[in-house]
């Protein structure tokens, strides 16, 4: 049996733990209940039993514009475990050995990005100037308002701006797929422009790539749990919430766990993806249109292939591929070496928005990734593959489609003491770590205001 708490939070991903830390900082006793054997949600890591290397379920990249996340990581004591690329510099291959680098200039934003675009050699000078004009139009559209963009997909938008096939395939679409995790014909132009504005056309520091030098779980779970426990709270793994139980005046009185335990509190936050939430709602809420609409939110997959070669195949920390199925290669040796760990030939490959290939077998996916690697970096053929691990996240993130604008809820619900958090909550951002942390902070602030903290 648990001791009653002020707030019960269901789900220990970035959203649940950031809500927990924010509430603990205001002195509330919080119980964070997590279904899995360890906290971390979709951003988790594990140690590979053979190599001992830390494996993230998928390489996660943060950016300098992730203000809420960077503040949260500072609070849990792990900001020094992040590597900051002061200037954005990405090597992008568009064919065998044909690489061009997107490199921002040491100029105030957004001039730093204008310079990067003008140096991008996969586009002709004319295409670069046209892309620059298109970027300026996008920013003007953003300033004028959001509504017209919510009716366009990224593909519609880029076509409207007169961007040709080469500019679409080697510039606009790779950015859209990487940041929104879906195909340009599906993704909302409004979310795309918001990301471009925040990440690439804001302050110079905002476009810095930031990645963890440690495994994802190590980055935030321990520090967050300690803060929550210091104020009499707890983070309880293997605590599967099966039902929210109603009490007086239609409020939630307690949660019931699969093992029969119950936990009461004055306020409840669900920080879980929508398809999980729909499983434990009180019976009378299931048919409520407020909640029922969440079933219409769809998801988009990500495939990650982790591979260990007998030698390093690139010196870069990360490399982009265009015109290939594989989009990104992360050189874990370079990323983790900063932390003094990891096998020399350990690479992670990422395929976002992987709808078309996610049902392929693991062997086929590995073959695809290796074929792309060998084509783009021919010297890699000499490296011998020692071991590979294919991880498919079929429901990696909420699809950033046009319907999502109407379907994403805010923090509050029709139940007075029940609140929502998670990357899919309406934050104006795609479903990312930053959206999850913002939603967690918002839920915590709402609950604190209600309790009077």
Ligand X SMILES: Cc1cc2nc3c(=O)[nH]c(=O)nc-3n(C[C@H](O)[C@H](O)[C@H](O)COP(=O)(O)OP(=O)(O)OC[C@H]3O[C@@H](n4cnc5c(N)ncnc54)[C@H](O)[C@@H]3O)c2cc1C
| Site residues, ligand X (CB under 6 A) | 10-16, 33-36, 41-43, 57-58, 60-61, 240-241, 271-273, 276, 280, 302, 304, 393, 396-397, 422-423, 431-434, 436
The CA distance from 179 to 429, in Å, is: 10
- Token duo for residue 8: 């019960």
The CA distance from 258 to 217, in Å, is: 25
Quickly list DSSP for 12-65.
-SHHHHHHHHHHHHTT--EEEE-SSSSS-TTS-EEE-TTT--EEESS---EETT
Between 152 and 193, CB nearer to ligand X: 193
Report the nearest approach of ligand X to the CB of residue 57 (Å): 5
Between 134 and 420, CB nearer to ligand X: 420
Report the nearest approach of ligand X to the CB of residue 434 (Å): 6
Q: Which residue is nearest to ligand X (CB)?
A: 41
Between 144 and 258, CB nearer to ligand X: 258
- Which residues on adjacent β-strands are paired with residue 308? 346, 387
Between 241 and 313, CB nearer to ligand X: 241
Report the nearest approach of ligand X to the CB of residue 137 (Å): 27
Report the nearest approach of ligand X to the CB of residue 106 (Å): 26
Report the nearest approach of ligand X to the CB of residue 160 (Å): 28
For residue 204, is the peptide bond before it cis, meaning its omega torsion is within 30 degrees of 0?
no
Report the nearest approach of ligand X to the CB of residue 115 (Å): 25
Radius of gyration of the chain (CA): 22
Between 24 and 123, CB nearer to ligand X: 24
Tokens 């006793």, located at residue: 29
Between 152 and 436, CB nearer to ligand X: 436
Quickly list DSSP for 356-402.
TTTTS-HHHHHHHHHHHHHHHSGGGGGSPEEEEEEEEEEEEEE---T
The CA distance from 453 to 447, in Å, is: 9
Q: CB-based contacts of 246: which residues, under 8 Å, 6+ apart?
A: 252, 253, 282, 284
Find out whether 267 and 7 touch, Cβ atoms under 8 Å: yes
Q: CB-based contacts of 262: which residues, under 8 Å, 6+ apart?
A: 1, 2, 245, 254, 255, 256
Between 12 and 68, CB nearer to ligand X: 12
Report the nearest approach of ligand X to the CB of residue 395 (Å): 8
Report the nearest approach of ligand X to the CB of residue 400 (Å): 12
Between 42 and 128, CB nearer to ligand X: 42
Between 212 and 345, CB nearer to ligand X: 212
The CA distance from 175 to 171, in Å, is: 7
Report the nearest approach of ligand X to the CB of residue 364 (Å): 19
The separation between CA 205 and the C-alpha centre of its own chain, rounded to angstroms, equals: 19
């Amino acid at each position: 049996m648990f001791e009653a708490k002020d707030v019960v939070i269901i789900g220990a991903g970035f959203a649940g733990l950031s809500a927990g830390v924010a509430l603990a900082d205001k002195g509330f006793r919080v119980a964070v209940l997590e279904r899995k054997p360890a906290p971390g949600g979709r951003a988790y890591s594990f140690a590979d039993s053979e190599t001992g290397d830390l494996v993230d379920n998928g390489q996660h990249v943060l950016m300098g514009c992730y203000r809420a996340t960077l503040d949260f990581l500072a609070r849990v004591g792990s900001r020094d475990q992040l590597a900051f690329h002061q200037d954005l510099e990405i090597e992008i291959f568009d064919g065998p050995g044909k690489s061009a680098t997107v490199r921002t200039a040491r100029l105030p934003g957004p001039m730093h990005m204008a310079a990067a675009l003008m140096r991008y050699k996969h586009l002709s000078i004319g295409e670069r100037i046209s892309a620059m004009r298109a970027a300026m139009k996008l920013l003007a559209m953003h300033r004028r308002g959001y509504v017209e963009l919510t009716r366009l997909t990224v593909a519609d938008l880029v076509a409207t701006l007169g961007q040709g096939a080469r500019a679409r395939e080697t510039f606009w679409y790779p950015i859209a797929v990487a940041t929104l995790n879906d195909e340009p014909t599906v993704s909302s132009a409004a979310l795309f422009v918001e990301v471009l504005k925040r990440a690439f056309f804001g302050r110079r520091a905002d476009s810095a790539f930031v990645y963890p030098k440690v495994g994802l779980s190590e980055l935030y779970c321990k520090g967050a749990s300690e803060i929550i426990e210091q104020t009499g709270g707890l983070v309880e793994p293997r605590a599967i919430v099966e039902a929210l139980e109603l009490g007086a005046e239609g409020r939630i009185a307690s949660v019931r766990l699969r093992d029969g335990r119950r936990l009461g509190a004055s306020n409840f936050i669900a920080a879980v993806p929508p398809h999980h939430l729909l499983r434990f709602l009180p019976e009378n809420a299931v048919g409520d249109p407020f909640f029922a609409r969440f079933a219409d939110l769809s998801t988009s997959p990500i495939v990650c292939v982790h591979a260990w070669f007998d030698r390093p195949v690139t010196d870069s920390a990360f490399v982009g591929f265009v015109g290939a199925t594989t989009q990104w290669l992360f050189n874990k040796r370079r990323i983790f070496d900063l932390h003094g760990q990891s096998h020399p030939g350990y690479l992670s490959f990422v395929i976002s928005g992987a709808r078309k290939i996610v049902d392929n077998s693991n062997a086929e996916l590995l073959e695809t990734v290796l074929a792309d690697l060998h084509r783009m970096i021919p010297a890699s053929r000499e490296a011998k593959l020692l071991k590979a691990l294919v991880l498919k996240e079929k429901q990696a993130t909420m699809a950033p489609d046009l319907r999502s604008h109407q379907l994403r809820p805010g923090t509050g619900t029709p139940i007075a003491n029940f609140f929502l958090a998670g990357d899919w909550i309406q934050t104006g951002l795609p479903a990312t770590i930053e959206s999850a942390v913002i939603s967690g902070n918002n839920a915590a602030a709402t609950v604190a205001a209600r309790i009077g903290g």
